[in-house]
Amino acid sequence: MMIAVPVDETKEALCVSFGRAPYVLFYDTEREQGQVRENPAAQSEGGAGIQAAQFVVDGGAQALVTVRCGENAAQVLQAAEIAIYKAQGSAKEALEDLKEGKLPRMTTFHAGFHGIR
């Protein structure tokens, strides 16, 4: 299974923002290998969450582990049937927690930051 984790500049800790995270870690649980890729939405003028969600969908992820997630991004991820899990801190620990079934599913999604409701 491919798991996407938005990470900050350290490339090791979860980024507090999903849409604006500088990198996304794509972790393949079968091959036990991760690849850190630049998030094309990080510098986006608008709709960053939507664009980042598209990036995660295109990366073949089946799950996303994130600190928080906006409504629009959640809609894209749900349409793509990608499970959204909530975590913070170290990406490595979060992936271990996910493997052990200790991560909760994310159920609340924040509104956009551009004054759209």
- Tell me how far apart the alpha carbons of residues 86 and 102 are, in angstroms, rounded to a whole number: 10
66 binds another protein (CB under 8 A): no
Minimum distance of another protein from residue 77's CB (angstroms)? 9
Dihedrals phi, psi of 109, to nearest 5 degrees: -125, 135
Bridge partner list, 100: none
Residues 84-113 that bind another protein (CB under 8 A): 112
2 binds another protein (CB under 8 A): no
Task: Give the binding-site size for another protein (rule: CB under 8 A).
Answer: 22
Residues 29-58 that bind another protein (CB under 8 A): 41, 44-48, 50-51, 53-54, 57
Minimum distance of another protein from residue 45's CB (angstroms)? 6
Q: Which residues contact 109 (CB under 8 A, 6 or more apart)?
A: 69, 70, 71, 73, 74
Minimum distance of another protein from residue 101's CB (angstroms)? 26
Report yes or no: 15 and 22 within 8 Å, Cβ to Cβ.
yes
